[in-house]
């Protein structure tokens, strides 16, 4: 009897490195337009795939892209193939923000205590650094030519003159830490905006008054209030969820704190930013999307449209899992985006069966891969190289979700990446917004999207990963915060594997005719 094909597997793909001929001009433009100095295309993950021993200046080399930046036109535009296009830059700090705020790494680029120097070096050089893993995943998915991942035009390491992270969710907790005030103005600055109840959008010096703490003098004679950034200069704001950056394990951004009967609520206003200066970052320049799946569903209530858009996500994940053994590991409504399209249908071929899915004007794009797990196998490689974000280290924010190398702890059982994780996670983030009256509302029972989400969140024993106890009509969250992530990993082994969902979700889209001339088809081997 033949062995079953694993749900997560790796196909051989072609990638190569090349010298970046216009690196010096890109460096000058990046410093001027992006406020990032000394950019380079090389980052440590590349050494897992390519040999650099004979290359004297590896920082001048990067992955060869089908479409790469010629020149930088501005803060959000680049020239590719002679055409200026709008782009989005995802910029991630290479060193963890929480430790930087605590002063554990000193001043980046300068000598520090011998106790902390090895840790800083280890993080910067690790091929599993979340910033590098996210950049590499973006590249391989872009180069695969699957349209459900944004095109990437370049990714660079560099030193950000100024980089901000939204800490609104965790501001109250952080501001009570004993190191917060003493380190303010030394290792980070702070920008506060008045909450809507005061004056929407107004920036105000709230720190000293809110914390009821005396101002103290820094080494250069300036008071702490000088560390409050009061200007209106535009700078990059890291969009990563600070609930994980600062190890406050919540899922507040995913809709788990719902008000029953109310769907698609307005998101909370950002009011607090931590600002860092001269910090190492990884910035990936990619295709600009128009909005999130959350916005698309909010503005389109027709179930047949929503199901077709979810089908795009299912086919995309099927391709990524069968090509790179890819699991996103944080797929929620704001990590799926869309772009407008004139194409009426998208075509897929999975295991020899053809499917035609209506677009209803939009192509879905999956983004944000800093927590992804995947493998890359190049021609001539005996074994694929596995990449896993250091956020899964036992001591980091996602520690405990998985337990495998390179972050294996022999004290605990092995836990491998779960092929069902992404669709279950997406379902938990979608449910209450789409169906605010809850799972027991009879009027939803005929809705195909409702049935899909309920199926994906139902465990083999008939209970739900999302709801506490439907048998007793208890629809409260069964698992809160990061416990939900760990529960999905452990208990939803075959609940929502994308490849098997193609068979169930894809039946209405089966297409027996010849694909029209000029149309492309995404092929996924069985």
Domain ranges of the chain: 291-374+411-526
Calculate the alpha carbon distances from 21 to 59, 67, 139, 357 in Å.
12, 14, 19, 41
Evaluate if residue 94 carries a pLDDT over 60. yes
Q: What is the mean pLDDT of residues 278-294?
A: 97
- The predicted pLDDT at position 337 comes to 98
Confidence band for 260, pLDDT divided at 50, 70 and 90: low
Q: What would the DSSP string read from start to end of 214-280?
A: ---B-TTS-BGGGGB--S-----EE-S-HHHHTT----GGGT-S--TT--SPPPPPP-EEEEEEEEE
pLDDT tens profile 226-252: 355 444 444 455 544 444 444 433 333
- How confident is the prediction for the chain on average, in pLDDT? 88
Half-sphere exposure of 99 (CA within 13 A, CB side): 17
Q: What is the mean pLDDT of residues 469-496?
A: 96
Evaluate if residue 220 carries a pLDDT over 50. no
Contact 141, 65 (CB under 8 A): no
Confidence band for 108, pLDDT divided at 50, 70 and 90: low
Q: Which residue's entry shows tokens 């800490």?
A: 167
- The predicted pLDDT at position 211 comes to 38
- The predicted pLDDT at position 271 comes to 87
d(CA 152, CA 283): 11
- The predicted pLDDT at position 259 comes to 58
Phi, psi of 38 (to 5 degrees): 55, 45
Please give the CATH number for the structural domain made up of 291-374+411-526. 1.10.510
* Higher-confidence position of 220 and 173: 173
Q: What is the mean pLDDT of residues 186-196?
A: 84
- The predicted pLDDT at position 262 comes to 58
Evaluate if residue 199 carries a pLDDT over 70. no
Q: What are 278's two structure tokens? A: 């001269």
What SS3 state is found at 8?
coil
What SS3 state is found at 361?
coil
Q: What are 289's two structure tokens? A: 């999307």
d(CA 104, CA 84): 41
Q: Which residue's entry shows tokens 């997560």?
A: 8
Q: What is the mean pLDDT of residues 340-360?
A: 97
């Amino acid at each position: 009897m033949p062995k079953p094909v694993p749900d997560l597997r790796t196909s051989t793909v072609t990638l190569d490195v090349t010298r970046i001929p216009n690196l010096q001009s890109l460096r000058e433009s990046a410093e001027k337009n992006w406020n990032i100095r000394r950019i380079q295309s090389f980052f440590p993950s590349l050494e897992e795939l390519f040999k650099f021993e004979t290359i004297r200046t590896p920082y001048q080399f990067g992955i060869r892209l089908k479409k790469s930046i010629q020149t930088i036109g501005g803060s959000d535009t680049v020239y590719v193939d002679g055409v200026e296009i709008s782009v989005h830059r995802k910029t991630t700090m290479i060193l963890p923000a929480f430790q930087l705020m605590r002063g554990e790494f000193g001043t980046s680029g300068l000598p520090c205590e011998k106790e902390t120097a090895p840790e800083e070096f280890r993080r910067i050089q690790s091929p599993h650094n979340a910033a590098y893993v996210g950049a590499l995943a973006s590249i391989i998915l872009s180069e695969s030519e699957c349209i459900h991942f944004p095109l990437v035009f370049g990714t660079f390491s560099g030193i950000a003159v100024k980089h901000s992270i939204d800490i609104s969710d965790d501001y109250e907790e952080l501001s009570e830490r004993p190191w917060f005030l003493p380190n303010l103005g030394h290792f980070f600055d702070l920008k506060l905006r008045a909450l809507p109840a005061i004056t929407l959008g107004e920036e105000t010096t709230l720190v000293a008054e809110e914390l009821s703490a005396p101002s103290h003098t820094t080494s250069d004679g300036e008071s702490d209030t000088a560390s409050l950034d009061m200007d209106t200069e535009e700078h990059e704001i890291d969009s990563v969820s600070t609930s994980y950056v600062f190890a406050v394990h919540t899922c507040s951004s995913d809709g788990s704190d719902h008000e029953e009967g109310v769907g698609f609520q307005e998101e909370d206003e950002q009011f607090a930013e931590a600002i860092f200066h001269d910090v190492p970052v990884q910035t990936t320049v990619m295709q600009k999307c128009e909005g999130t799946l959350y916005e698309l569903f909010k503005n389109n209530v027709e179930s047949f449209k929503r199901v077709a858009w979810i089908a795009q996500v299912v086919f995309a994940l099927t391709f990524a899992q069968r090509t790179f053994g890819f699991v996103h590991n944080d797929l929620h409504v704001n990590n799926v985006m869309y772009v407008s399209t004139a194409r009426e249908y998208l075509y897929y071929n999975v295991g020899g069966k053809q499917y035609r899915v209506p677009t209803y004007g939009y192509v879905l794009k999956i983004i944000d891969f800093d927590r992804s797990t995947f493998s890359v196998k190049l021609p001539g490689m005996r074994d694929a190289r596995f990449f896993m974000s250091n956020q899964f280290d036992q001591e980091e924010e996602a520690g405990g979700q998985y337990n495998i190398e390179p972050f294996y702890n022999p004290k605990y059982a092995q836990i491998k990446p779960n092929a069902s994780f992404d669709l279950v996670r997406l379902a938990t983030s979608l449910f209450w917004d789409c169906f605010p009256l809850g799972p027991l509302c009879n009027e939803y029972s005929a809705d195909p999207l409702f049935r899909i989400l309920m199926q994906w969140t139902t465990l083999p024993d008939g209970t739900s990963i999302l709801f506490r106890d439907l048998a007793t009509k208890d629809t409260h969250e069964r698992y809160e915060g990061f416990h939900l992530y760990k529960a999905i990993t452990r208990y939803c082994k075959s609940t929502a594997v994308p490849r098997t969902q193609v068979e169930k979700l894809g039946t209405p889209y089966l297409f027996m005719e010849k694909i029209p001339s000029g149309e492309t088809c995404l092929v996924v081997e069985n």
